[in-house]
Amino acid sequence: MNKVLFFAHLRDVVGAEFLSLDAAGKTVAQLKSELCEKYDLPRMETVMTAINEEFSSNDEVIHEGDEVAFIPPVSGG
C-alpha cells in the first residue's frame, strides 16, 4: 500500500489529508491521471510530486510502501 498526501487546495478537493491506495508499479504520471479522473483534480500536470520526501519526475515508478506527496506550486505573493 502507499500513503498519498495532498497539500493546499488539492486536499480540499480530495476531502482528506491523505489516501491509502495501491500505487506500486505505476509511474507518477499514471497515478496523477488516475486521481485526476476520480477526483476531478485541477491542473495536475504542474503539481510537484515527492516520493519519500524527495522531488520526483512524472516518469518515476512508485514502489510498495513509498509515501507520495502532491504539492501544488502557487503564485500568490
Return the residue of 1, 22, 25, 57 that touches another protein, per CB under 8 A: 57
End-to-end CA distance of the chain: 37
- Using CA atoms, how far apart are residues 6 and 72, in angstroms rounded to an integer? 9
Q: Looking at beta carbons only, is 23 or 69 nearer to another protein?
A: 69
CA dihedral 35, 37, 9, 73 (to 10 degrees): 70
Q: How many residues bind another protein (CB under 8 A)?
A: 25
Q: Per rule CB under 8 A, is residue 74 in the interface with another protein? A: yes
Per CB under 8 A, residues contacting another protein are 7-9, 11-12, 17, 42-43, 45-46, 48, 50, 53-57, 69, 71-77
